[in-house]
Structure formats: C-alpha cells, structure tokens
Amino acid sequence: MNSEQFNRMMLGAGSGTVAGADSGILPNLSRRGFIKVASGAAGGLVLGLSMGAPGEAQAQSAGPPPRPFAPGAFVRIAPDGKITLISKNPEIGQGIKTGFGVILAEELDASWSDVTVEQAEVNRAVYGSQIAGGSMSIPRAWDELRYAGAGARAMLVAAAANQWGVPASDLTTSESRVIHAASGRTASYGSLATAAAALPVPDIGSIRLKTRKEYKLIGKRFTGVDNAALVRGQPLFALDVQLPGMKYASIAKCPSVGGKAKSFNAEEIKKLPGILDAFIVEGTPPVTDVMKTGVLPGVAIIGKSTWAVFSARKALKIEWDTRTASKDSWTDFVKQAKALSSNAQGEVVVKTKGDVDKALSPDNTDTKIKTVEAFYQFGFVSHAQLEPQNTVAWFKDGSVELWAPMQLPDPAVVAAAADVPADRVKLNQMRVGGGFGRRLMNDFVCEAAYLSRRVEGPVQVVWTREDDMRHDAYRVGGFMGYRAGLDTQGKLSAFDAHMVSFKDTASGKVSKGGGISPNEFPADYVDDYRASQSLMPLSTPTVWWRAPGACTMAWVQQSFLHEVAVAAGRDHVEFLLELFGRGAGKGTPPAGGLDAARAIGVIKLAAEKAGWNKPLPKGHHHGIAFYFSHLGHIAEVAEVSVDASKKVTVHRVTVAADVGPVINLSAAENQCEGSVVDAIGTMTLEVTIEDGAAQQTNFDRYPLPRMAISPQVDVHFVQSEHSPTGLGEPVFPPVVPAICNAIYAATGHRIRTLPVTQEGFRLG
C-alpha cells in the first residue's frame, strides 16, 4: 500500500447522510471537521483519520455528550459498545459485505456479536473505485482493511494505557475489550471510544498486524450479515425502493441492437389506463466503450404502476428505423470463422517463440512424432442475473439521486445522461440481485436518471426479462483452432493457438473477454509456441461475464490438452504434473501470474481427494482440469456418467483451490458450489444472434440450471501463506473442461462445441 492509498483509506466520509445519525451513534458527523495527520519530514506514510473535531460536540450542547470514535471510513465505535464496520464495495452475492466485516473485526479484535456491517456510500474521494469486478475486492482491500482495523485497535489500546497509567505494550485485547493482565483490569471498546477519538493517530509503521496464528475470526464460517433481512423479505434491493409520488417507467428498445424508434401509436398508448405519458427517446450519442453506454433509443412509457406500463408495452406499435441497427448473424459468424481458421496463423500474432510452423511441419521428423489438431466453438451467453435491470431515480433542484444495483457506480456516465454535473449525482449502492459482470455497465441507471429529469420527479425504471436478454452485453462467443506437437517421449513440444474472435465495430478493439493473452498457458512451458488471432467485426454489445476470457479459454485449452494427453497415451494428471513441473522451481513466478508450484499443489490435491484412478461406481468417469485466473489456482475433478441417450449426469465435482487464506469459509464454499452449478448450466445455454437480435429472450428458451442438476461439490482449500485473493470467478473456468474430459472418458466423444446441446448432449 502506498501513502496515497493509505491516506484515502483513512479519510472519513465527507458528505451525505450517515446512517445512525439520528440514533446518536454518530451525531452530526457531516458537520464536523476532519483531522488529517500528515507524515513527518522523514517521508513516512501519511495517515489520515476522520473524527469529530475536538470541542465541537461540547459547543453544541450543555454537557459533553458521548462522542463517537470514528477512525476513518471503515470503523465506528459507539459509547454503548456497538461497532459499525463499513463495507465499501458492492454486494452482488459474492459475500463481500460479510467478508470485509470479518477482516476489519479481526484486526480490531472485536467480538463478532458486537458488529453491524453497513454498506458505504458511493464516494470515490474516500474509497477510490468501489467496484465488484475481477474478483479483486479481497486482494485490493486486504491491507487497507487490516490497517484500518488494527489502527483503530491501537488507538483504543492507547486510550486504556492513558487511563490506567500503564504502558500500551502491557495491554492486550480480546472480544471488544482492552485487558491489563497484570492488574486484572479490563475496559470495553465502547467505554474507551470517546477517549480514543481524541488521541493522535498512530503512524502506520507502528501498527502491528496479526499473524495468521493469532486469527480468531478469519477462516471460520459466518452466515451473511444480510441473511436475517433476506429471509424476512425486507427491502434490500433497488427494485424494492419506493418513494412518495414515484412513477413507473419502461423503455421499449429495438430488438435489433442500435435501431431507433421512428414513430409509434402515441395517442392510443397515452389513453390506456394508468398511463401518464409516452414519448420517443433519441438516446444518448453512441459510444465506443460499451462500459460507458448511456441511454439507448426507444419509446418510453410512464405510468402509475409497473403493470400499467408493462401492459401498455404490449400495445405498442413502433416503426423502427433499422438503418443504424446491427445485422449480426451467428450463423454467418460460424461460416466466417471456419474459413478464417483454415489458416494456421491468424491475422495478428500475439506471441511467437521458437518456430512453431517448422516444429509442426509434416516434414519435421527430427523430434516430433505426432501432431494433434482440433477446432473449438462456443456461443454467446447472457448474464441473466435474476433481478432485472432497474433503478429508482429522483431528479430535484438540479440534482439527481439514484438507487441502483451497480457493480461499478459511475457518476460521470449517469451525469451525462441526466445532463447535470457529476457532483450533482448521488448514487446509492443497493444489494445487487446478481451481477456476473452485467452491472459493471450503467445503462439502466442512465435511463432512470434521464427519465426522472424528463418527468421531474421520482421514477422507477424496470426492464422486462425480454428487455434484459435482448439488451444484454453478452459473453462473447468465439472459436479456437489448435495444433500441438508431441516429441518422441510423448511430451508436449510445440503449441499453436489461432483464436477466431471478434472486435467491436465501433471501436475496432478486441471484444471484451474475446482476446488471447501473450502469456496464455502453455506459452512459458514449451519451446515452440504461437498465439494468434483473427477478429470479425461485431456490432452486438459484449461485456465482462464471470471470469471473462478465462471462462471460455479454460474450456478450449484444458479440453485440448486432454486430447494431447490422450494422443500421447498418458494419464491426464501425470501429463499435467509433468507439464507444470517444467515451470516449478525455475525462478520467481511472475507477480500476479501463474505459479507452477501452486498449480501442481491443487492438481495433486484435487486428484487425491477425488480418488483419481481409484474405482468409481459403475458407469462413472472422471475428468480433470486446471486453470489459473483472477489470481486463483484451481483444479477440479468431475465425476460424470452419460447414458445411451447422451444424458449427462454430473455426480460430483471436487474443487481444489489455492486462493491464499480463506476469510469466511462458508461464503468461500458457497462461491465454489455456485460456480460449479453456474458452469454446468452454462454448458447447455446460448444466445444466438440473428439480424442483430437475440433469439432467446426469456427463461423458457434459455433454461437456467435447476436444483436437480446440482451435483455434490467437495471443496478443499490450500490455505497457503500467499495473500488472500477472490473467489467469485476463478472456480468457474475449470468446471466445463473437467466435465467434457469426463464425458470423453465415458463415451470417447470429444465435445468441441458449446453448448453441448449442439452435439446432442443434455443434462439430467
């Protein structure tokens, strides 16, 4: 952590209302000043703290009321002992609100039963980027939160030391109390909070973090902090927000992406019951970055209830201007991709080393024995988060306040849509009913901001499921042509990957999640290697989708490596261990990159726990895959059977994960279990695009997985000494190749097309 990051972390909430203000927990924080203690001339880290300015509270009332101890934006301790911890990032089901609370509480040495976790306000000045993406919440916040908790603890200890006239070094803490063992004295954090708040802020260099052996909370199981509210159906989501006088709105958009409304039956629509207005929306100007998408064009309907608006939607007769609309066709893309892949080398070489063409040439009889070739194809899929896109917006007096399910709150984009300055936008982070990457975009938030300004009052925008699936920014489909060479010992010696993928028509850039990295495995593990790509222009919007890139790359790569192992006549686990063994112990692994030793560790663990090469029930077969993504090293073994009708049953998936120390074991296991179910379901799903329009627009034709296909999931964590990393994504990628490798073991059939339904397989 650098000084800027630390400073930002410790700076307090500077604006907006603070929950608890009325209850006396945090009186009038927003009206108080902030103390910032800058670093000394030695150039040490800057430590800032927010707290009420001394004396101000007294000035406001006759006697000195209890003052809250509020070191920074993450911890508040009230005189009554209540501890409020603040979670800065969006909660999208990854469990971060609980996880962040556990990290803070651990270093604070708080009793978990004293703790309440609150969602932070959106405030980039205080928190920096508040994003749920890339499984980066834990690794990015790990140091920040530990220092915030430990810094607060140090101040409480200092307060007790002053009170008792003993050295701070003689004091310990436990369960929200400071303890002086020599005299038997103890004091609760609540009783020390007011005194601690008046103390100087400790230098970051003086703060000692706990060692892993000292952890009391981290690594245990915690139920989610919102679970009690969830099971009661309390309003936690943006869709649940209701404001006085709120209107309801929906925008009908052209099924072919990019089309505009020319005209519609406005008079007829406006006369329908419960309808207040209807008008054409021109939309904000098209952008080249899908993440900055504003308001899409269409026809807006404003009404007194959601149902009035949805009913009126059905009565709409819109004439679309499709001159600017997408004409994309998946059928055409498949044909083009097959033609492009006839060249071994793609249009752009991403990485080359050695001489892969020579190594794989039929004339090369020096070392090469065998060449393996395959072509893989995978379709587009939808995010299909269960809570449809929605936002409540309230435009008033030149400002707009919004309540939305966001993974990446972006005031600038929203401000542009509402035509107000960015500092006149207040975004409220609501619990997000599923993200999977889709809510990194703010297009639905923009719609509400725009419409609220238009109707000059509070409005709720709700997308129908059909809107959601037609105007998703999908997981990009793609194609991969592979060639591999085996040497005389049956070892992988040459590897050639030609990815046929897409580039955005508007920007010319590789579609998000559609590229191949120069370091893609096994680049560093063979002498002759090439990665290249050919890109087809794509008008259909695509955006990050759970483990973007990795979620499909793992399937093609780990399936193909199994093909190579089979061609070599080698056991797949032995093949993988030998391949990764080439990299283990050879220098320091790249920071944030694949670590061969950790890969080997999880491959061995998964194989051992699953009983690889041990007898299985009749008709059951194993497949294994490994993939490194989002800083997680994950190996998985799938136990599968396939019946004569090609019905695939996944009985068990064994997950071996090295993501460093686990914070909340329950949430971590939940992410693994959910990733497995998500991946199994996605194997059978696709959104086909024809004439620029999605052909699957609801769950009847996009059948998400249901309970009966959910397998047993056994999760094993390697609790390594590395810093902890995220789990929302990295468990997904190895699932599908592990299953497809097991299907091969069961049937001898290699699945090279996703969804597997294209090859006649189904789940059961």
Partner 1 sequence: MLRLHVNGKDRQIDDVADDTPLLWVLRDELNLVGTKFGCGIAQCGACTVHLDGQPVRSCQIPVSAVSGLKITTVEGLAKGEQLSTLQQAWIDHDVAQCGYCQSGQLMSATALLAATPDPTDAQIDSAMAGNICRCGTYGRIKKAIKAAAQSGKGQAGKERA
- Residues of the shown chain interacting with partner 1 in the complex, contacts defined by CB under 8 A: 92-95, 221-224, 226-228, 230-237, 239-240, 242, 248, 273-274, 305-308, 310-311, 384-388, 431-436, 462, 464-465, 666-667, 670-671, 673-678, 681, 698-700, 704-708, 710, 712-713
Question: CB-wise, 413 or 731, nearer to partner 1?
Answer: 731
- In degrees rounded to 5, what are phi and psi of residue 269? -65, -45
C-alpha to C-alpha distances, 268 to 275, 298, 312, nearest whole angstrom:
10, 17, 9
How far apart CA 347 and CA 350 sit, in angstroms, is 10
Instruction: Please report how close the Cβ of residue 268 comes to partner 1 at its closest, in angstroms.
Output: 17
Instruction: Please report how close the Cβ of residue 313 comes to partner 1 at its closest, in angstroms.
Output: 11
Structure tokens belonging to residue 474: 């999908």
Crossing angle for the helix pair 96-108 and 137-164, to the nearest 10 degrees: 30
How far apart CA 416 and CA 402 sit, in angstroms, is 14
Q: Could you give the residue ranges of the DSSP H alpha helices within 464-546?
A: 465-470
Instruction: Please report how close the Cβ of residue 333 comes to partner 1 at its closest, in angstroms.
Output: 27
Q: Determine how many CB atoms are found less than 10 A away from the CB of residue 296.
A: 23
Question: CB-wise, 312 or 659, nearer to partner 1?
Answer: 312
Q: Is the dihedral of CA 151, 155, 161, 162 positive or negative?
A: positive
In terms of phi and psi (left: phi > 0; alpha: psi -120 to 50; beta: otherwise), the region of 746 is alpha
Structure tokens belonging to residue 201: 């802020």
How far apart CA 437 and CA 630 sit, in angstroms, is 14
Question: CB-wise, 233 or 748, nearer to partner 1?
Answer: 233
Question: CB-wise, 515 or 726, nearer to partner 1?
Answer: 726
Question: CB-wise, 583 or 711, nearer to partner 1?
Answer: 711
Nearest to 470 by CA among 703, 698, 704: 698
Instruction: Please report how close the Cβ of residue 604 comes to partner 1 at its closest, in angstroms.
Output: 25
Instruction: Please report how close the Cβ of residue 678 comes to partner 1 at its closest, in angstroms.
Output: 5
How far apart CA 453 and CA 399 sit, in angstroms, is 9
Three-state SS at 579: helix
Please list the helix, strand and coil fractions of the chain in percent, rounded to the nearest 5, in that order: 30, 25, 45
Instruction: Please report how close the Cβ of residue 455 comes to partner 1 at its closest, in angstroms.
Output: 17
Structure tokens belonging to residue 191: 């009783």
Three-state SS at 498: strand
Q: Determine how many CB atoms are found less than 10 A away from the CB of residue 701.
A: 13
Question: CB-wise, 405 or 737, nearer to partner 1?
Answer: 405
How far apart CA 351 and CA 531 sit, in angstroms, is 5
Question: CB-wise, 247 or 562, nearer to partner 1?
Answer: 247
Question: CB-wise, 262 or 706, nearer to partner 1?
Answer: 706
Instruction: Please report how close the Cβ of residue 180 comes to partner 1 at its closest, in angstroms.
Output: 37
Instruction: Find the length of the chain.
Output: 764
Question: CB-wise, 515 or 755, nearer to partner 1?
Answer: 755
Instruction: Please report how close the Cβ of residue 264 comes to partner 1 at its closest, in angstroms.
Output: 22
Question: CB-wise, 333 or 436, nearer to partner 1?
Answer: 436
Does residue 77 contact residue 54 with C-beta atoms inside 8 Å? no
Instruction: Please report how close the Cβ of residue 239 comes to partner 1 at its closest, in angstroms.
Output: 7
Question: CB-wise, 328 or 673, nearer to partner 1?
Answer: 673
DSSP 79: T
Instruction: Please report how close the Cβ of residue 475 comes to partner 1 at its closest, in angstroms.
Output: 14
Instruction: Please report how close the Cβ of residue 669 comes to partner 1 at its closest, in angstroms.
Output: 9
Structure tokens belonging to residue 247: 């209107």
Instruction: Please report how close the Cβ of residue 242 comes to partner 1 at its closest, in angstroms.
Output: 6
Helices vs strands, H then E, count in the chain = 19, 30
How far apart CA 444 and CA 451 sit, in angstroms, is 11
495's CB contacts (< 8 A; 6+ apart) are 356, 482, 483, 484, 485, 522, 523, 526, 528, 529, 530
Question: CB-wise, 536 or 715, nearer to partner 1?
Answer: 715
Instruction: Please report how close the Cβ of residue 277 comes to partner 1 at its closest, in angstroms.
Output: 18
Instruction: Please report how close the Cβ of residue 343 comes to partner 1 at its closest, in angstroms.
Output: 39
Instruction: Please report how close the Cβ of residue 112 comes to partner 1 at its closest, in angstroms.
Output: 14
Radius of gyration of the CA atoms of the chain, in A: 28
- In degrees rounded to 5, what are phi and psi of residue 746? -80, -35
How far apart CA 262 and CA 280 sit, in angstroms, is 8
Question: CB-wise, 557 or 675, nearer to partner 1?
Answer: 675
Three-state SS at 94: coil
Does residue 530 contact residue 706 with C-beta atoms inside 8 Å? no
570-595 burial: b if 16+ Cβ within 10 Å, else e: bbbbebbbbbbeebeeeeebeeeebb
430-458 burial: b if 16+ Cβ within 10 Å, else e: bbbbebbbbbbbbbbbbbbbbbbbbbebb
Question: CB-wise, 43 or 245, nearer to partner 1?
Answer: 245
Question: CB-wise, 322 or 670, nearer to partner 1?
Answer: 670
